[in-house]
Every structure is written in C-alpha cells, then in structure tokens.
Structure 1
Amino acid sequence: MAGQIDIDDQASFTNLGPGEVLDSIPDEADSGFHPLSADGLVPISQGNPEYNIITACFLAGLGPLADGTAIVSVLKNSTGSCSTKAKFIAFRAFMEAVARKNGGVANVKYGWFPGSKEEIKRIISLGFSGREVEKFANEATSHGVGVHLVPSNIPLAAALGAEPDEEGLRHLLLCRVIQGNPEKIVSGSRQMYPSSSEFHSGVDDLLSPRHYIIWSCSMNAYLLPSYAVTFRSPHLIPRGIGLCPRPGSTWVSFAALLSILSESLDPPRMNMILKTYSEFRRREVRRDKLVRKMREVAGDDLLKHIIKRYRGADRVIT
C-alpha cells in the first residue's frame, strides 16, 4: 500500500483560490449512481483530477483496509444555488478576516467529517448544528466540546466513525477548515471556546495533529463542506465483535478500538494491526492472534487506558 497522501500538499488543490474550489463543473458531471444527494452537490467522475486526488488520499490512508474498499461516488459542493454561494462568500470573508488577524495566514486545511447519510445531507443543506457538537461531547477521547474533524491524510478514524446506511454504504464529508492560530486541547477537555482571542481553533497536537476542533461559535464560519464521498468496505463492520464477549459487560469492540488506536499510533504501527485485522475478518487468523498483535504493537498500557476511559464513562460499545 502506498504511503499517506495529504490533500493539502496537492498543487491542484492548494493553488486554487477559495472561489475555485466550489466552481460548478458541468463538463465533468457523472450521471452514474449516487446514493447521497442534496441541493448543491454535483457528481464528479473518475478521471477528474479532484476525484483522483481525493480517492487516492482516502484509500492510501486506510492502509491494508483499502483492499476491497470501493469508492461509490464523489460529489462536489458547487455554487449552483444561492444559499451555497452565500455560504462560500461568507467563508471567504472569514478566511480573509482570520488571515488579517493571524499575520496574513488563514491556515486553511482539509478535514474529514464522518456521519450518517441523513446527517451529511442536513449539513450540506443547513450547515453544522449542535447535534454535530454533541456527538463528540461525551466521547472519552474527545478534545474539547466542538466539531471534530480528521486531517485529510489520516482518514481511517473518520471511515471507522461513519455510520452505514440501509445499503451498507458509508459517507464522509471533506471540508475546508479555517484553523487560524490553533491551540492544543488535551484529551477529555471540556473546553467550549478559545481560551483567548489569540486562538481560533483547537488541535490535539500542535506539531502533528490528528484532530481539528472547531468551536460551536464559529463552526459555520470556519467550516465549508466541499466534497462528499460514499464508499463501501467489507472490513468496516457494525460494532459488535469485541475484546470481551460476555453479554452485558462493559467492553470495547474491535471497530471502536481501531478507531481510537488510529488517533494514537503512527501509520507504520497502525498498519501492522490493520493487516492482522484484515486477516481476522477473512477468517485466516483467530481472534486471540489479533488480540496478541494489538497488545504487541500498541502495548498493554495504552489498551488498558482506552478500556478504562470507556468504562469510566459508563459506555458499552456494542
């Protein structure tokens, strides 16, 4: 599997002005099957440079789980409707305002946001709401109370967090994120606003962030949904196969554990676990070998910490 690909490093993305990202694309429209539809979303076809970059970035970030994962569609948010155009104009205004305050740099990145089909359609049409803040507020590994996104080059955690629809398809938003001057937010923090006027957003790590946190007070100013990706993966099963199969016990499923581990482990170590997990899903190895591999690579201290935090929050992951 190829190494990670960062959308923010791609010239065809980073060299675009903010208006060009949302230009309508009638010549590249794809009339194929698109299960996710909402006002303003325009399908783009294979062979389109944006399609190629987004899908390459997504699949590379899945590591071994990319095998068997199929991209069903990529949709682009266009300025075809008045409301979408107004959102774009507002986003550009906030980007320029943050840049003036932050030494000329708005620090705009791309980030993945996972959700159900209906949730993503609602965000495209109406914007982010308190629901998207609340879904992270009670997570044991959350970094503050805000909308959490995953950097474009590590989509695994987002993919694991996407809810399958009635057809077994999962959906992600790829958003432009105005970070400005971010501050570090520790895991488990209940912070809801910038700690001072100096900061605009939050991250879990200033040097190598795995979480972008946008506060509710600025979520529809600093976030702009740009693309919607629909995919199917046989490896991302509904939560239910866990580390402790006793009915009624407090336990963490493999799916939930992989999602959390992806936030803490570097790609080489995460891929070692994912390779064994893929073999487990194909019934080539037993459950005990997968558990041993997790313990070997992640270490007992990290695994115990994860399970303890979930139990401390009275969570049962099933």
Structure 2
Amino acid sequence: MDFSGDVKQAIPRPVLAFGGVGTAGPSPLLRGWREFRRSGAPVRFLCFEGGVWADVEGEAAVPLRRAFLDGRVVSEAAYGGREFLFDFLRMVRIDAGTAEEVAMGWIDDRGACFFPVPDGGRKRKRGEDELEDGASSGVEERSDESSGTVESGRVSKAARGAWGRAVRLEETDKFYQVVKKLFLSGIAPRVGGGVAITAVHKVAQGPRCRAFQLQGQLLAAARGADGGNAKFAWYGAPPADVAAAVGHGFGRTNSRVLGHRAHGDGVHLSPPQSPFASTMLANADENGEAHIVLCRVLMGRPEVIPAGSSQLHPSSDNYDSAVDNMQNPKWYVVWSKDMNTRILPEYVVSFKCPSLHQMQGSSEATSQLKKPSPVARDMFPTLLAEIQRFVPSSKLQTLQGTYNRFKKGQMKKDQFIRFLRAFIGDRVLTAVAKKLRGY
C-alpha cells in the first residue's frame, strides 16, 4: 500500500432507488423537490455513464437549463443520436427508446452540487447489510508486492473484537505489517521505544464506503478529474469518540481537544507520516490502551484556516475543506457537515505508550491559557468595531466568535493577531491601526 498521502479511488455505480414508500424521513420526491427549489441556475448537467460522471453534450444542455429556469421538473433533450427524458426531481435520465434509467445531477452557478443520494429510500433485504458491510471497500490500495483489496469478509466472526464489525488482523497479515510500519515510523522518533501496538483492526465497509465514493465523484465533477483530492490521514480522539466514528459515524468533531490550536470547528486529521499529532488527541482507556484511526479523506479544494478560528464551514463555494498550511500541512480539517461522507475509517490502531499522558500534559494542545490582560481586552473592542466596516456581513459571525474566544482566555494575543492578519489582510489591519492612532 502506498501511504504517501494520495489515494486512487475506485468508481462505483450509483444506486438508483426511488419510491421510498414506508421509509423513514422525507420521500425521495419531496427531497428532490426541495433540492430543485433550492438550486441556483444550472451551469452543468452530468449523467453517470461508463462508470464516470460525464457532461451532457453541447446544445442539449440549453433546453434543459431553460426548462429548469421555467420551473418545469421534466424536460426532453437529444444528443448522441438518442432522445432522452430528464427528471429533475428523481435525478434520472430516461432513454426514450429503451427506457433505461441512469443517474443525473447538476452544478449550479454558485458551485453547489445536486446529485442523487446513495440508496435513498431503498428498502434493504434482510441480511443485505451484513453481506455488504463485510465486503471490501472497493478502493484500490497499492503495494510494491501486489495491488489487491482487503477482503475482510473472509475473516471469521470470532476475529471481530470490540470495534463493532471491525476485524482484528493477525500480526502476520500483510496489511497489519504495513499499518504497523507506518504508525511506528511516524511516532517512534518522538517517543523513542516506549510505544507498543496491541492490535490493528480493519473496519468493515458498506453503505459508508458507497457514500464516500459518490462524494469523490461529485467533487471530481465539480473540481475536475482529481477534484476529490483523496488522502490517507490519522484521526485521534478519546476512546468513546473513536468507537462511535468506527461503529456508526462521527458524532462530533475533535477540535475541542485541540482548544485554541484548532483550525476551525472541524474534524482534524494528521497526514499519514505524522501520527504523533493525532496521538496527542487520544486518551488511554481503562486498559491503558489508546486508539487512533487510519482513514481515507476527501479534501477537495482546501483553504488555509489560521489556528484559533471558530469557522464552521467553507468560507465560500470555492472551497471544500481546510488545512493549516498549504505547502506542508500538519492538519487536514473536514467540516462537520461532511465528516460522515468524506472521511472513511479504514484501520484502528490500538497501542500502549506509558509516557502518553505526560507528553499530553506538556503539549501545547492541552496547555492552559492565561486570560488576556485588561489592557489588551480594552484595546480590541475599538479595533474590531473599526474592522467590521471592512468585513462582509457573512463573515462577521466568524470574527465575533473568534474574538469571544480570545476574550475568554481561550486564545493567546499573538494568535488572535495572526488570525486577524489572515482574516482581513495586513493592508486593512495596518490602515485601521493607523486611523486609531490618529495618522
């Protein structure tokens, strides 16, 4: 397996499933209607053909766009010598000659993507979940020795441990050895020989994997061929959060553990060669074991977010995720709205490190901050009042939220100033400072 960071992603065929009678939540047609009403003017229409999302050809998109803007939920269009019916509510294209249906979607003039939800409203047959969750993830893993996929379904139920449907790998397993080498090579230089792996579990895939793969396709459709920007990365958190993420999905972000060092309120993951940063977010359980998870992550187009930011989502439709540094990132950040579709847990690494608690106590990630001095608190309200004149209304909440964290002593003064410089730029900050000084 190549854990250099980038992941080559397999492309699944989306499941067309509509009807949804008796299913929980809004019906697919109701959801389709809401999406149709919410969308801006479409600029691209795409259909899933030949295993990829392909643009509707040439002039055929013109009548589709006209029908969409006129409020019609069905439109006809012809291209490639065939006639089709496009159903915007069900998000399907129907071949007028053969009645064959394929998935379709669109991207509007704001860059927002509108594509069918995997398995939306489909009633699953009894036992189908077990069969699919035990199957391979379907995402290619490259190795110098071979290029196969992990087939966790071949492992007996007895091998499944405390991590739900995750499978405990034998120490002789090829993937155990690869994950072990990756983890130890990244953490040993920081802790010496005081760390020992106690277990490696392979997380069973299924519906989450299909959702992840579809997200990769949607990002590729919106950002270009490599738009998914898939990476390997480590996720660290307290044991309960790790168990939840592996068992049924992320329930919350781990940014609170980082405190003032968080780059927004999102799930923070460290690059594959840097597991140490994520181990600093992992607490040992009652057995003295800590756990981190090797994941696949879809970054799309990231933006740089400074430490101490309270940002909750991309600053615009031009971005999908965040990093602390574009050239040499130490953190990948996935926003909470995407954490269960753009992060795919793959392996749980359990380990013991006697010095873990001591290292966390001396780490900046958990250090206690002193509240800013009264002078600093008195100076910034005037500065912020002036800065707000230069900030779009959509960003005022982020600015105020970050200032509130500084005011409560959750962020150092130099970090807050760095945030301001990154948030509004040196030119505006200098101009405001000069004005307040009277020149």
Scaled to the shorter chain, the TM-score interval is 0.5 to 0.7
TM-score (norm 2): 0.49
Greater Cα shift, 156-165 or 40-49: 40-49
Runs of 4+ in structure 1 over 3 Å off: 13-18, 20-24, 26-32, 257-260
Residues 1-318 of structure 1 correspond to what in structure 2 (within 5 A)? 8-9=3-4, 14=7, 17=10, 19-20=138-139, 23-25=150-152, 37-62=162-187, 63-79=189-205, 85-105=206-226, 106-130=228-252, 132-133=253-254, 135-136=256-257, 139-238=259-358, 253-254=361-362, 256-257=363-364, 312-313=409-410
Q: 1:94 to 1:15 in 2, by over 3 A?
A: closer
Greater Cα shift, 48-57 or 192-201: 48-57
Equivalents in 1 of 2:150, 2:170: separation in Å?
Answer: 15
Letter in 1 for 2:138: G
Contact 2:155/2:167, CA 8 A, preserved across alignment: no
Letter in 1 for 2:191: L
What CA RMSD, in Å, does the superposition of the two structures yield over aligned residues?
A: 3.1
Equivalents in 1 of 2:190, 2:320: separation in Å?
Answer: 35
Tell me the alpha carbon deviations over residues 224-276 of structure 1, each in whole angstroms, 9 at most, x when there is no partner. 11111100112213578xxxxxxxxxxxx32x24889xxxxxxxxxxxxxxxx
Tell me the alpha carbon deviations over residues 119-156 of structure 1, each in whole angstroms, 9 at most, x when there is no partner. 211112221123x25625x7111101111111111111
Look up the match of 2:389.
Answer: none
Structure number with the higher helix fraction is 1
Contact 1:30/1:43, CA 8 A, preserved across alignment: no
Equivalents in 2 of 1:30, 1:229: separation in Å?
Answer: 19
Q: Aligned to 1:121, what secondary structure does the other structure show?
A: helix
Q: Aligned to 2:345, what secondary structure does the other structure show?
A: strand
Equivalents in 2 of 1:203, 1:30: separation in Å?
Answer: 39
Shift of 1:20: 4.0
State percent identity of aligned pairs: 27
Equivalents in 1 of 2:277, 2:307: separation in Å?
Answer: 16
Letter in 2 for 1:172: I
Q: Aligned to 1:88, what secondary structure does the other structure show?
A: helix
Contact 2:7/2:231, CA 8 A, preserved across alignment: no
Shift of 1:73: 0.6
Equivalents in 1 of 2:197, 2:157: separation in Å?
Answer: 14
Equivalents in 2 of 1:187, 1:202: separation in Å?
Answer: 11
Equivalents in 1 of 2:356, 2:275: separation in Å?
Answer: 13
Equivalents in 2 of 1:93, 1:232: separation in Å?
Answer: 36
Equivalents in 2 of 1:213, 1:257: separation in Å?
Answer: 19
Q: Aligned to 1:191, what secondary structure does the other structure show?
A: coil
Q: How many residues align?
A: 238
Contact 1:151/1:211, CA 8 A, preserved across alignment: yes
Shift of 1:15: 5.5
TM-score (norm 1): 0.66
Letter in 2 for 1:8: F
Tell me the alpha carbon deviations over residues 173-215 of structure 1, each in whole angstroms, 9 at most, x when there is no partner. 1111100111111111111111111111000001110001111
Contact 1:7/1:53, CA 8 A, preserved across alignment: no
Equivalents in 1 of 2:138, 2:297: separation in Å?
Answer: 15
> Which consecutive unaligned segments of at least 5 residues does structure 1 have?
1-5, 80-84, 241-252, 261-308
Q: 1:161 to 1:134 in 2, by over 3 A?
A: closer
Shift of 1:8: 2.7
Equivalents in 2 of 1:26, 1:66: separation in Å?
Answer: 36
Tell me the alpha carbon deviations over residues 7-62 of structure 1, each in whole angstroms, 9 at most, x when there is no partner. 5328xx94674614685335567967x8x622220111223232222111111111
Contact 1:24/1:78, CA 8 A, preserved across alignment: no
> Which consecutive unaligned segments of at least 5 residues does structure 2 have?
11-136, 141-148, 368-405, 413-439
Q: Aligned to 1:93, what secondary structure does the other structure show?
A: helix
Shift of 1:221: 1.2
